[in-house]
Amino acid sequence: MATLTEAEAEAQLPTRPGATPDELAIVAALRNGDEGAFASLIEHYHSAMVRLASMYVASGAVAEEVAQEAWLGVLEGIGRFEGRSSIKTWIFTILVNRARTRARREDRSQPFAALEQSLHETDEPAVEPSRFLDTPGRWQGYWVSYPTAWSTLPEERLLAQETRRLVAQAIASLPPAQQEVITLRDIEGWTAEEVCVLLTISEANQRVLLHRARAKVRRVLEPYLSEV
Amino acid sequence: MNEQTELTCRELVELVTEYVEGAMPPEELRRFEQHLAMCEGCRAYLDQARQTIRLVGQLHEAILPLATRQTLLQTFRSWKNSTSTE
Ligand SMILES: [Zn+2]
């Protein structure tokens, strides 16, 4: 099993979204051996890379190793980076390729491999079915009692340490693929398109994963934020 | 789904992500907004969904451990030395 070279990794990517002028400046700086440019990249991306790698490999220590290897791949490939994708997508593609190779060597299943199938086999509702009227008639499928809006709550309550703890706990309990998508989208701020390219999943599956993940976090928060 | 029939609340909550992602086809969007206009419960649900996204976003903190930073910068320096001596 061959590992993709960094040039091949770049060739796999679609041409959008391309590197921005800012990014091309970072690439140029890296090629010139500017340590500050490298330091800023690792500060931005390293933790997210380790987290992503840990979905593929057995331990946090191996994930750290894979991420460090990926950085070496980035440095070795930077001379050939053509800016056809964003540098972030390129770096993370190198990471994912390394993590997949490592996972195959460890004979581990890939988190997104059986996704198409498993997604449509399990049908988890966003809201407990008991929240909706089930008696046939005009109001079947309507709320038994209304949820309450949260944007009217005091900001201290919404941003309280306890809320954060619940959110973090809810995310940690999600299946790996959902965890990855909600983290990239809502914590790291990636676009849907970037996530699809990186994880090689379809737009529709990306949305289903995101939907389930967000719905679960909301469900965990509801009893807490609806207390008067 | 029959376009003539009204969405129920149970159906609407499953479409919220499609809605906030701006990925809804026009006809579905029309039915979605029609339901919202008449249903206080679903407006509150949508508000909760939006607040959830914001609260998840608050978790952003990626502090690079100092030791890791040192290791990576060391990698960078040896890479730099090896390329400049080639
Ligand atoms: Zn409703």
> Considering the domain boundaries, does residue B2 fall inside one?
no
Binned at pLDDT 50, 70 and 90, residue B3 comes out as very low
Stretches where chain A sits below pLDDT 50 are 1-2, 15
d(C-alpha A152, C-alpha A194), whole Å: 33
> Considering the domain boundaries, does residue B62 fall inside one?
yes
> Considering the domain boundaries, does residue B3 fall inside one?
no
> Considering the domain boundaries, does residue B1 fall inside one?
no
Give kind and range of the element (H or E) at residue A12. helix A6-12
d(C-alpha A117, C-alpha A104), whole Å: 20
The total of other beta-carbon atoms located within 10 Å of residue B38's CB is 9
Q: Residue A106: its pLDDT value, please?
A: 81
Q: Residue A15: its pLDDT value, please?
A: 46
pTM metric for this prediction: 0.82
Q: Residue A116: its pLDDT value, please?
A: 57
Complex ipTM > 0.95: no
DSSP percent split of chain B into helix, strand, coil, nearest 5 = 75, 0, 25
> Considering the domain boundaries, does residue B37 fall inside one?
yes
Distance in Å, CA A148 to ligand 1 centroid: 12
d(C-alpha A217, C-alpha A126), whole Å: 10
Q: Residue A111: its pLDDT value, please?
A: 63
Q: Residue A96: its pLDDT value, please?
A: 92
Distance in Å, CA A143 to ligand 1 centroid: 7
Beta carbon pairs, A and B, within 8 Å: 143
Phi and psi at residue A217, in whole multiples of 5°? -65, -45
Residues in chain B with CB shorter than 8 Å from the CB of A187 are: 56-57, 59-60
Domains and CATH numbers, chain A: 6-105 (1.10.1740.10), 115-140+150-225 (1.10.10.10)
Residues in chain A with CB shorter than 8 Å from the CB of B57 are: 186-187, 189
For B71, the closest chain A residue by CA position comes to A68
Indicate the residue of B41, B69, B80 with minimum beta-carbon distance to A143: B41
Distance in Å, CA A115 to ligand 1 centroid: 31
What is the residue-wise DSSP string for B23-46? ---HHHHHHHHHHHHH-HHHHHHH
**CATH number for position B17:** 1.10.10
Residue type, B14: E
Selection from B28, B19, B23, B14 nearest residue A218 by Cα: B14
With contact defined as beta carbons under 8 Å apart, do B33 and A203 qualify?
Answer: no
> Considering the domain boundaries, does residue B48 fall inside one?
yes
Q: What is the pLDDT of residues A119-176, one digit of tens each?
A: 665 678 999 999 999 999 999 999 999 999 999 999 999 999 999 999 999 998 998 8
> Considering the domain boundaries, does residue B4 fall inside one?
no
Q: What residue numbers bound the domain in which B77 lies?
A: 9-85
Assess B68–A contact: CB distance below 8 Å, yes or no.
yes
Strand partners, B32: none
Q: What is the pLDDT of residues B14-70, one digit of tens each?
A: 999 999 999 999 999 999 999 999 999 999 999 999 999 999 998 876 678 899 999
How many domains does chain B divide into? 1
> Considering the domain boundaries, does residue B49 fall inside one?
yes
